[in-house]
Amino acid sequence: MPKPGIHPEWYPEAKIYCNGELVATMGSTQPELHVDVWSGNHPFYTGTQRIMDTEGRVERFLRKYGMADSSAKSE
């Protein structure tokens, strides 16, 4: 048994909101949780994850350490 008076209040049906919309209920020490990301809109879980290399960092790394393909080099 937990010691009385030292544990926070437990809310078994705490509501979780994302962008003002109720997305889930679960147990928590807070009655309401407001989150920015949850499994319903996270790219990893929705399958829309993309690797973006907008600044050419991968190519710059490969050139710096001599790992670039020799046929891709412009002479």
pLDDT digits (tens, 9 = 90+) for 16-58: 999 889 999 999 999 999 998 888 888 777 877 666 666 778 7
Q: What are the boundaries of each domain within the chain? A: 11-64
- Arch. (CATH architecture) of 11-64: Irregular (4.10)
User: Comparing 60 with 10, which gets the higher pLDDT?
Assistant: 10
The DSSP annotation for the chain comes to -PPTTSSPP-EEEEEEEETTEEEEEEEESSSEEEES--TTT-HHHHT------TT-HHHHHHHHTT-S-GGG---
pLDDT in the model for residue 75: 46
pLDDT in the model for residue 14: 96
- Dihedral over alpha carbons 38, 43, 48, 49 (to 10 degrees): -170
- 0.75 surpassed by pTM: no
